[in-house]
Amino acid sequence: MSLSSYQSKRELLELENLTWLVTGAAGFIGSHLVEELLSLNQKVIGVDNFLTGKKSNLDIIEAVNPERFKENFIFYEIDITSAEQVSNLPTVDFILHQAAMGSVPRSILKPIDTHHNNVTGFINMLVFANSLNVKKFIYASSSSVYGDHPTLPKVEENTGNLLSPYALSKMTDELYAEVFSRVYGIKTVGLRYFNVFGPRQDPNGQYAAVIPKWINATLVDKPIVINGDGQTSRDFCYVKNVVQANILAALADQSETKNSVYNIACGGQITLDELAKTVQHEIGAYLPNLKPKILYQDFRDGDIRHSTADISKAQHSFGYLPEYDFISGIKETINLLCKI
């Protein structure tokens, strides 16, 4: 399936009014899903408890498309770790489950909170999805489930020893989804995200992701701080690719997805040194007097040394094809920030 095929799916959706439940709707990825679905004239039920999500993300969506936001979006401020609160949500066609407590370092410091939000909340959403007999339950997994498996690129069938409570929580979710599919017949698809980045990603706090943190540091003339020697590499994936993957996976025939898990990435490999230089170079177009500064410190516990994805399974199963590579994604992210 090509990008034109994804466009054809978008055009079909504009003619069919379905109802989608997005958990973590005020978060980084969730808010982009809400925005895309509303642009396609879909009805969207948004769920968030604002543990990490921000109301300002929903305000941005409302400003972009106020009419559809008012007509087609309903928001519930609830905690999905409460089965009672989840059970009171309305009937929907699809569930896109994005809500989670992210960050490997945070999970090492707060393993109980990580389990409570990422596993208990996940089970509650699975039970709810099963009670409604939804068309498909799409959920966010993570590249962290590959642990210390040395083979590159990462292939879905090969995982190693898990290196953090966060990774354990995501692997546990995958196992629960597999069992619920087998026992109850619920249709599930897990998407293993690889280092997603883009607009609305929070740059603040000790658990901020590397790209928004480094962009923010550069904009205020502070040094970029690299954990390790700079040769650690990642497969950075622009958020609009993730939005595409969620919608394609939801609309794919069940025979194509088969209650499985899929890598969602670009299939590339960028070192932290390369990332830092790219961020500073792109921002330099807006700040010509910028003087790049980089500091190195110790490696972080739980971090994987190298990570790049084989995305062929998602391509073959439901036509996932990244619209944005790393460079085009970072350019758009910085362009939007610098124009504010």
Considering only residues 253 and 44, tell me which one the structure prediction assigns the higher pLDDT.
Answer: 44
pLDDT of residue 301: 76
Active site residue 166: yes
For the entire predicted model, the pTM comes to 0.94
Which residues on adjacent β-strands are paired with residue 191?
A: 140, 262
Residue 252, domain member (yes or no): yes
pLDDT tens-digit series, residues 198-220: 999 988 876 678 999 999 999 98
Whether residue 334 lies inside any domain: the answer is no
Q: pLDDT tens digit string along 57-110?
A: 999 999 999 999 999 999 999 999 999 999 999 999 999 999 999 888 899 999
Confidence of residue 304 (pLDDT cuts 50, 70, 90): confident
Q: What angle do CA 101, 89, 36 make, to 5 degrees?
A: 65
Q: For the beta carbon of residue 206, count every other beta carbon within 10 angstroms.
A: 9
Residue 92: CATH number of its domain: 3.40.50.720
Residue 176 lies in a domain: yes
Does 119 reside within a domain? yes
* β pairing state of 188-193 and 73-77: unpaired
Inside any domain, residue 217 = no
147 — pLDDT class (breaks 50, 70, 90): very high
Catalytic residue among 166, 193, 262, 320: 166
**Is 296 inside a domain boundary?**
no
Give the residue-averaged pLDDT of 283-309.
Answer: 87
pLDDT of residue 137: 98
CB of 138 within 8 A of CB of 97?
yes
What's the total number of domains in the chain? 1
Report how far residue 225's alpha carbon sits from residue 215's, in angstroms, rounded to the nearest whole number: 11
| Strands 73-77, 19-23: pairing kind | unpaired
pLDDT at 70: 96
Q: Which residue has the tokens 């989670």?
A: 100
* pLDDT per residue as tens digits for the range 15-35: 889 999 999 999 999 999 999
| Domain ranges, residue 147 | 3-196+237-267+307-324
Give the distance, in angstroms, between the CA of residue 25 and the centroid of all CA atoms in the same chain: 11
| Residue 64: inside a domain | yes
Q: What is the mean pLDDT of residues 286-315?
A: 88
The Cα 177–Cα 185 span in angstroms is: 10
- Predicted confidence at residue 4, as pLDDT, reads 63
The reply to whether 287 falls in a domain is: no
Question: Computed over its alpha carbons, how large is the radius of gyration of the chain?
Answer: 19
